[in-house]
Amino acid sequence: MKNKKIKFLLVFVIFNLMSSWLWVGVKNKVLFQIKKTDFYQLKSQSRLYEVNTLQGEASRAGVGLLGRLAVNKYSWPGKDFLTRAAESFDFHFLFIEGDLNLKKSTRTAGPILLFFFPMIVYGFVCLSSKQRILLLIGLLCLSSLGAFMEPHFETTSRLPLILALNSLAAWGLVLFFSSPAKKGVKALYSLLLFWEFFRFVHDFYLHYPGRSF
């Protein structure tokens, strides 16, 4: 067990070194910075205007009372909170394109490499029922951090969640390579993982600079 823990820590470090969020963060320090304007603007004029517009449309449609109950200055932020929290688990955001801001993502890779996903699933499946429940509660709590940010699909506030998923992927990899799975399957997975990483590095050095500046 001790040997597995050492392997897990080693793989966790390697997985984070391979993750696009770290490369982009080192290049553009803005990834690790949160400005006051990045936080959710509860009383922004555009948001109040949107609420008033929707209430007006509901009133014209003959559902004035229901419209005011469904859309008001209290329920609308709640909807936004749930929407942004759910965005934390968006597959396209996490594994395909990442942040909408080119200073925080290359837009050709998510903050987590795509081929980490099979190990996240494998690691989750290998957990006990109690561990799965605790993990899901923890992930839901971490996902809520993104709900307090104004930009959609924002990376900085979701770094704790990304680190948690990378740790699950690392644990999954350790268990997978300790399993009796065929060597050919393990070799194929390793090949695909490194192919994706080198594809990212190629884009990062040759194409990303032209897109981000």
164-186 pLDDT, tens digit per residue, is 999 999 999 999 999 988 899 99
Q: Two tokens at 199?
A: 């594809």
Domain extent at residue 160: 2-212
Give the sign of the dihedral formed by CA 109, CA 111, CA 117, CA 119. positive
Q: What is the pLDDT of residue 59?
A: 64
Q: What is the pLDDT of residue 128?
A: 93
Q: What is the pLDDT of residue 69?
A: 61
When pLDDT is cut at 50, 70 and 90, the band that residue 106 belongs to is: very high
What's the rounded mean pLDDT across residues 132-138? 96
Q: Two tokens at 188?
A: 């194929």
Count CA atoms within 13 Å of residue 44 on its CB side: 12
Q: What is the pLDDT of residue 94?
A: 97
Q: Two tokens at 126?
A: 């290998």
Read off the amino acid at residue 121.
V
Q: What is the pLDDT of residue 37?
A: 80
Mean pLDDT computed over every residue of the chain: 89
Q: Two tokens at 118?
A: 């099979």
Residues near 76 by beta carbon (within 8 Å), at least 6 away in sequence = 47, 50, 51
Q: What is the pLDDT of residue 72?
A: 64
- Alpha carbon of 52 to those of 46, 58, 59, 84, 152: distances in Å? 10, 10, 10, 21, 22
Q: What is the pLDDT of residue 68?
A: 62
Cα 78 to chain centroid distance, Å, stands at 20
Q: What is the count of structural domains for the chain?
A: 1
What's the rounded mean pLDDT across residues 69-85? 78
Q: What is the pLDDT of residue 1?
A: 67
Q: What is the pLDDT of residue 63?
A: 62
Please, what is the Cα angle at 116 between 139 and 180, to 5 degrees? 110
Token match 């200073």: residue? Answer: 103
pLDDT score of 51 more than 90:
no
* Residues 127, 55: Cα–Cα separation, whole Å: 47
Hey, which bits of 58-203 come out as E strands? none
Q: Are 115 and 193 in contact (CB under 8 A)?
A: yes
Q: In whole angstroms, how large is the CA radius of gyration of the chain? A: 21
